[in-house]
Structure 1
Protein backbone atom coordinates (compact mmCIF):
# COMPACT_ATOMS: atom_id res chain seq x y z
CA UNK A 1 0.00 0.00 0.00
CA UNK A 2 1.39 3.39 -1.02
CA UNK A 3 1.06 6.34 1.37
CA UNK A 4 0.13 9.80 0.06
CA UNK A 5 2.83 12.44 0.19
CA UNK A 6 2.32 16.01 1.45
CA UNK A 7 4.66 18.97 1.13
CA UNK A 8 4.99 21.65 3.77
CA UNK A 9 6.09 25.29 3.29
CA UNK A 10 9.78 24.47 3.51
CA UNK A 11 9.55 21.97 0.67
CA UNK A 12 10.11 18.92 2.87
CA UNK A 13 7.85 15.98 2.15
CA UNK A 14 6.26 13.64 4.60
CA UNK A 15 4.13 10.57 4.17
CA UNK A 16 0.56 10.62 5.44
CA UNK A 17 -1.21 7.42 6.42
CA UNK A 18 -4.35 6.70 4.45
CA UNK A 19 -7.39 5.56 6.35
CA UNK A 20 -8.78 2.20 5.40
CA UNK A 21 -12.36 3.29 6.24
CA UNK A 22 -12.56 6.30 3.90
CA UNK A 23 -13.97 5.85 0.45
CA UNK A 24 -12.54 7.68 -2.50
CA UNK A 25 -14.77 10.46 -3.87
CA UNK A 26 -14.72 12.36 -7.06
CA UNK A 27 -13.82 16.05 -6.52
CA UNK A 28 -17.30 17.22 -7.51
CA UNK A 29 -19.12 14.73 -5.25
CA UNK A 30 -19.79 15.97 -1.77
CA UNK A 31 -21.73 14.32 0.98
CA UNK A 32 -25.27 15.58 1.28
CA UNK A 33 -25.47 18.24 3.95
CA UNK A 34 -28.35 17.97 6.36
CA UNK A 35 -31.21 20.29 5.49
CA UNK A 36 -32.07 22.89 8.12
CA UNK A 37 -35.10 21.95 10.12
CA UNK A 38 -38.15 24.18 9.82
CA UNK A 39 -39.08 23.24 13.38
CA UNK A 40 -38.50 26.25 15.59
CA UNK A 41 -39.42 24.60 18.89
CA UNK A 42 -36.22 25.90 20.46
CA UNK A 43 -37.09 29.47 19.56
CA UNK A 44 -40.68 28.96 20.63
CA UNK A 45 -39.49 27.69 24.02
CA UNK A 46 -37.16 30.68 24.46
CA UNK A 47 -39.94 33.05 23.45
CA UNK A 48 -42.30 31.55 26.00
CA UNK A 49 -39.61 31.80 28.70
CA UNK A 50 -38.91 35.45 27.79
CA UNK A 51 -42.60 36.42 27.80
CA UNK A 52 -43.12 34.58 31.07
CA UNK A 53 -40.14 36.39 32.62
CA UNK A 54 -41.45 39.73 31.35
CA UNK A 55 -44.92 39.02 32.73
CA UNK A 56 -43.67 37.99 36.16
CA UNK A 57 -41.28 40.94 36.33
CA UNK A 58 -43.98 43.40 35.25
CA UNK A 59 -46.45 41.97 37.77
CA UNK A 60 -43.83 42.30 40.51
CA UNK A 61 -43.07 45.93 39.61
CA UNK A 62 -46.78 46.72 39.32
CA UNK A 63 -47.41 45.23 42.77
CA UNK A 64 -44.55 47.21 44.31
CA UNK A 65 -45.72 50.45 42.68
CA UNK A 66 -49.42 50.03 43.52
CA UNK A 67 -49.29 53.19 45.69
CA UNK A 68 -47.54 55.27 42.99
CA UNK A 69 -50.11 55.83 40.18
CA UNK A 70 -47.69 57.34 37.60
CA UNK A 71 -45.26 54.45 37.95
CA UNK A 72 -48.06 51.88 37.92
CA UNK A 73 -49.60 53.39 34.78
CA UNK A 74 -46.19 53.36 33.08
CA UNK A 75 -45.63 49.68 33.90
CA UNK A 76 -49.11 48.69 32.73
CA UNK A 77 -48.78 50.75 29.56
CA UNK A 78 -45.30 49.47 28.71
CA UNK A 79 -46.28 45.83 29.28
CA UNK A 80 -49.52 46.03 27.31
CA UNK A 81 -47.87 47.99 24.48
CA UNK A 82 -45.02 45.51 24.23
CA UNK A 83 -47.39 42.53 24.22
CA UNK A 84 -49.49 44.10 21.44
CA UNK A 85 -46.33 44.91 19.49
CA UNK A 86 -45.12 41.32 19.78
CA UNK A 87 -48.57 40.08 18.72
CA UNK A 88 -48.59 42.29 15.59
CA UNK A 89 -44.99 41.40 14.72
CA UNK A 90 -45.77 37.69 14.94
CA UNK A 91 -48.90 38.21 12.85
CA UNK A 92 -46.89 40.25 10.33
CA UNK A 93 -44.21 37.56 10.17
CA UNK A 94 -46.75 34.91 9.19
CA UNK A 95 -48.34 36.94 6.38
CA UNK A 96 -47.03 36.99 2.81
CA UNK A 97 -45.24 40.16 1.69
CA UNK A 98 -48.38 41.56 0.05
CA UNK A 99 -50.45 41.27 3.24
CA UNK A 100 -47.95 43.01 5.50
CA UNK A 101 -48.78 46.51 4.30
CA UNK A 102 -51.88 46.86 6.47
CA UNK A 103 -49.96 45.96 9.65
CA UNK A 104 -47.15 48.48 9.17
CA UNK A 105 -49.02 51.35 10.82
CA UNK A 106 -49.97 49.51 14.04
CA UNK A 107 -46.39 48.24 14.38
CA UNK A 108 -44.98 51.72 13.85
CA UNK A 109 -47.50 53.34 16.20
CA UNK A 110 -46.92 50.82 18.99
CA UNK A 111 -43.13 50.97 18.71
CA UNK A 112 -43.19 54.78 18.61
CA UNK A 113 -45.44 54.91 21.67
CA UNK A 114 -43.06 52.59 23.52
CA UNK A 115 -40.03 54.68 22.53
CA UNK A 116 -41.74 57.89 23.66
CA UNK A 117 -42.85 56.34 26.96
CA UNK A 118 -39.33 55.18 27.77
CA UNK A 119 -37.95 58.57 26.71
CA UNK A 120 -40.39 60.31 29.02
CA UNK A 121 -39.27 58.18 31.97
CA UNK A 122 -35.58 58.64 31.19
CA UNK A 123 -35.89 62.38 30.53
CA UNK A 124 -37.51 62.83 33.96
CA UNK A 125 -34.29 61.96 35.76
CA UNK A 126 -31.84 63.63 33.36
CA UNK A 127 -30.49 67.16 33.50
CA UNK A 128 -32.37 69.44 31.08
CA UNK A 129 -29.66 69.41 28.40
CA UNK A 130 -29.50 65.61 28.35
CA UNK A 131 -33.29 65.40 28.45
CA UNK A 132 -33.38 67.42 25.23
CA UNK A 133 -30.87 65.00 23.70
CA UNK A 134 -33.02 62.03 24.76
CA UNK A 135 -36.12 63.60 23.19
CA UNK A 136 -34.24 64.44 19.99
CA UNK A 137 -32.95 60.89 19.69
CA UNK A 138 -36.35 59.33 20.32
CA UNK A 139 -37.94 61.74 17.84
CA UNK A 140 -35.35 60.86 15.21
CA UNK A 141 -36.01 57.15 15.75
CA UNK A 142 -39.76 57.71 15.36
CA UNK A 143 -39.35 59.80 12.22
CA UNK A 144 -36.77 57.39 10.80
CA UNK A 145 -39.10 54.47 11.41
CA UNK A 146 -41.94 56.31 9.69
CA UNK A 147 -39.68 57.08 6.74
CA UNK A 148 -38.42 53.51 6.51
CA UNK A 149 -41.87 51.95 6.69
CA UNK A 150 -44.03 54.36 4.69
CA UNK A 151 -41.96 56.67 2.47
CA UNK A 152 -38.90 54.68 1.36
CA UNK A 153 -39.75 52.47 -1.62
CA UNK A 154 -37.60 50.14 -3.68
CA UNK A 155 -38.18 49.09 -7.25
CA UNK A 156 -38.14 45.45 -8.32
CA UNK A 157 -34.56 45.73 -9.57
CA UNK A 158 -33.33 47.07 -6.23
CA UNK A 159 -33.27 50.77 -7.08
CA UNK A 160 -34.99 53.44 -5.03
CA UNK A 161 -38.01 55.26 -6.42
CA UNK A 162 -38.13 59.08 -6.43
CA UNK A 163 -34.76 59.66 -4.79
CA UNK A 164 -32.11 61.48 -6.76
CA UNK A 165 -29.54 60.86 -4.04
CA UNK A 166 -29.85 57.07 -4.06
CA UNK A 167 -26.69 55.09 -4.79
CA UNK A 168 -26.35 53.38 -8.17
CA UNK A 169 -27.63 49.82 -8.14
CA UNK A 170 -24.37 48.35 -9.47
CA UNK A 171 -21.02 50.02 -9.65
CA UNK A 172 -18.52 47.98 -11.56
CA UNK A 173 -14.92 49.03 -12.03
CA UNK A 174 -13.49 48.55 -15.47
CA UNK A 175 -10.08 46.87 -15.81
CA UNK A 176 -8.53 50.24 -16.77
CA UNK A 177 -9.80 51.88 -13.56
CA UNK A 178 -8.38 49.09 -11.40
CA UNK A 179 -4.82 50.04 -12.38
Structure 2
Protein backbone atom coordinates (compact mmCIF):
# COMPACT_ATOMS: atom_id res chain seq x y z
CA UNK A 1 0.00 0.00 0.00
CA UNK A 2 1.50 3.33 -1.03
CA UNK A 3 1.53 6.05 1.54
CA UNK A 4 0.67 9.49 0.29
CA UNK A 5 3.21 12.18 1.05
CA UNK A 6 2.08 14.86 3.43
CA UNK A 7 3.71 18.21 2.58
CA UNK A 8 3.22 19.48 6.13
CA UNK A 9 4.96 16.40 7.56
CA UNK A 10 7.78 16.83 5.02
CA UNK A 11 8.23 20.45 6.16
CA UNK A 12 8.25 19.34 9.80
CA UNK A 13 10.88 16.69 9.05
CA UNK A 14 13.00 19.34 7.40
CA UNK A 15 12.68 21.59 10.44
CA UNK A 16 13.58 18.73 12.77
CA UNK A 17 16.65 17.89 10.68
CA UNK A 18 17.70 21.55 10.67
CA UNK A 19 17.20 21.72 14.44
CA UNK A 20 19.23 18.57 15.05
CA UNK A 21 21.98 19.89 12.77
CA UNK A 22 22.04 23.19 14.68
CA UNK A 23 22.08 21.31 17.99
CA UNK A 24 24.97 19.14 16.77
CA UNK A 25 27.03 22.11 15.59
CA UNK A 26 26.37 24.02 18.82
CA UNK A 27 27.28 21.05 21.00
CA UNK A 28 30.41 20.36 18.98
CA UNK A 29 31.50 23.98 19.37
CA UNK A 30 30.81 23.90 23.13
CA UNK A 31 32.71 20.63 23.50
CA UNK A 32 35.62 22.00 21.48
CA UNK A 33 35.83 25.13 23.65
CA UNK A 34 35.63 23.02 26.81
CA UNK A 35 38.42 20.73 25.59
CA UNK A 36 40.55 23.74 24.67
CA UNK A 37 40.02 25.14 28.17
CA UNK A 38 40.83 21.77 29.75
CA UNK A 39 37.44 21.54 31.44
CA UNK A 40 36.59 17.83 31.48
CA UNK A 41 33.40 18.40 33.51
CA UNK A 42 31.95 20.70 30.87
CA UNK A 43 32.88 18.25 28.10
CA UNK A 44 31.02 15.50 29.97
CA UNK A 45 28.03 17.81 30.56
CA UNK A 46 27.79 18.76 26.89
CA UNK A 47 28.21 15.18 25.72
CA UNK A 48 25.65 13.68 28.11
CA UNK A 49 23.08 16.43 27.53
CA UNK A 50 23.49 16.11 23.75
CA UNK A 51 23.00 12.34 23.90
CA UNK A 52 20.00 12.71 26.21
CA UNK A 53 18.39 15.26 23.89
CA UNK A 54 18.86 12.98 20.88
CA UNK A 55 17.38 10.04 22.78
CA UNK A 56 14.48 12.23 23.90
CA UNK A 57 13.72 13.23 20.32
CA UNK A 58 13.93 9.60 19.21
CA UNK A 59 11.60 8.34 21.95
CA UNK A 60 9.11 11.16 21.37
CA UNK A 61 8.96 10.28 17.67
CA UNK A 62 8.49 6.58 18.46
CA UNK A 63 5.71 7.51 20.90
CA UNK A 64 3.96 9.56 18.22
CA UNK A 65 4.15 6.69 15.74
CA UNK A 66 3.02 3.92 18.11
CA UNK A 67 -0.53 2.81 17.49
CA UNK A 68 -2.67 3.83 20.45
CA UNK A 69 -5.41 1.23 20.10
CA UNK A 70 -3.55 -2.08 20.06
CA UNK A 71 -2.80 -3.68 23.43
CA UNK A 72 0.84 -4.49 22.60
CA UNK A 73 1.33 -0.96 21.28
CA UNK A 74 -0.22 0.44 24.46
CA UNK A 75 2.42 -1.35 26.52
CA UNK A 76 5.13 0.01 24.23
CA UNK A 77 3.71 3.53 24.55
CA UNK A 78 3.81 3.17 28.34
CA UNK A 79 7.49 2.13 28.20
CA UNK A 80 8.24 5.07 25.92
CA UNK A 81 6.36 7.43 28.25
CA UNK A 82 8.56 6.26 31.16
CA UNK A 83 11.71 6.79 29.08
CA UNK A 84 10.60 10.28 28.06
CA UNK A 85 9.91 11.26 31.67
CA UNK A 86 13.26 9.86 32.84
CA UNK A 87 15.15 11.77 30.16
CA UNK A 88 13.27 14.99 30.89
CA UNK A 89 14.05 14.59 34.59
CA UNK A 90 17.71 13.88 33.83
CA UNK A 91 18.00 16.99 31.67
CA UNK A 92 16.17 19.12 34.24
CA UNK A 93 18.50 17.94 37.00
CA UNK A 94 21.61 18.46 34.87
CA UNK A 95 20.69 22.01 33.92
CA UNK A 96 19.60 22.83 37.47
CA UNK A 97 22.97 21.57 38.73
CA UNK A 98 24.83 23.70 36.19
CA UNK A 99 22.79 26.84 36.93
CA UNK A 100 22.72 26.37 40.71
CA UNK A 101 26.50 26.01 40.82
CA UNK A 102 26.96 29.67 39.81
CA UNK A 103 24.21 31.14 41.99
CA UNK A 104 24.22 32.21 45.63
CA UNK A 105 22.70 29.57 47.90
CA UNK A 106 19.21 31.12 48.28
CA UNK A 107 18.80 31.32 44.51
CA UNK A 108 20.35 27.86 44.06
CA UNK A 109 17.76 26.49 46.48
CA UNK A 110 15.04 28.06 44.37
CA UNK A 111 16.54 26.56 41.20
CA UNK A 112 16.55 23.08 42.75
CA UNK A 113 13.01 23.56 44.08
CA UNK A 114 11.79 24.59 40.62
CA UNK A 115 13.51 21.55 39.09
CA UNK A 116 11.91 19.23 41.65
CA UNK A 117 8.44 20.72 41.15
CA UNK A 118 8.84 20.49 37.37
CA UNK A 119 9.85 16.83 37.49
CA UNK A 120 7.15 15.93 40.00
CA UNK A 121 4.54 17.80 37.98
CA UNK A 122 5.63 15.99 34.83
CA UNK A 123 5.29 12.68 36.65
CA UNK A 124 1.79 13.50 37.83
CA UNK A 125 0.69 14.68 34.40
CA UNK A 126 2.19 11.72 32.56
CA UNK A 127 1.32 8.85 34.89
CA UNK A 128 -1.36 9.85 37.39
CA UNK A 129 -3.82 11.75 35.23
CA UNK A 130 -6.78 9.78 33.98
CA UNK A 131 -6.74 9.39 30.24
CA UNK A 132 -9.95 9.36 28.19
TM-score, normalization: structure 2? 0.85
Which structure has more relative contact order (CA 8 Å, sep 6+)? It is 2
> In the alignment, which residue of structure 2 is the partner of 1:137?
114
Asked whether 1:60 is paired with 2:29, we answer: yes
- The residue aligned with 1:118 is 95
Pick from 33, 58, 81: which aligns with 1:87?
58
Q: Which runs of 5+ in 2 are unaligned?
A: 69-73
The structure with the greater share of residues assigned to helix is 2
Query: For residues 34-53 of structure 1, what are the structure 2 equivalents within 5 Å?
Result: 38-39=6-7, 40-53=9-22
SS for the counterpart of 2:101 is helix
Number of aligned residue pairs: give it.
119
Match runs of 1:71-86 below 5 Å: 71-86=42-57
Q: CA deviation at 1:55?
A: 0.2
After the TM superposition, list the runs of 4 or more consecutive aligned residues in structure 1 that deviate by more than 3 angstroms.
Answer: none
Distance (whole Å) between structure 1 residues aligned to residue 122 and residue 92 of structure 2: 11
Runs of at least 5 residues in structure 1 that lack an aligned partner in the other structure: 1-36, 157-179
Please list the CA deviations of residues 109-139 of structure 1 after superposition, one character each: whole Å capped at 9, or x if unmatched: 0010000000000001111101000000000
Tell me, yes or no, if structure 1 residue 152 matches structure 2 residue 129.
yes
Structure with higher Rg: it is 1
Q: Post-superposition shift, 1:38?
A: 3.0
* Mean CA deviation greater in 91-100 or 65-74: 91-100
TM-score computed with the length of structure 1 as normaliser: 0.64
Partner residue in 1 for 2:71: none
1:108 aligns to 2:76 (yes or no)? no
Structure 1 SS opposite 2:6: coil
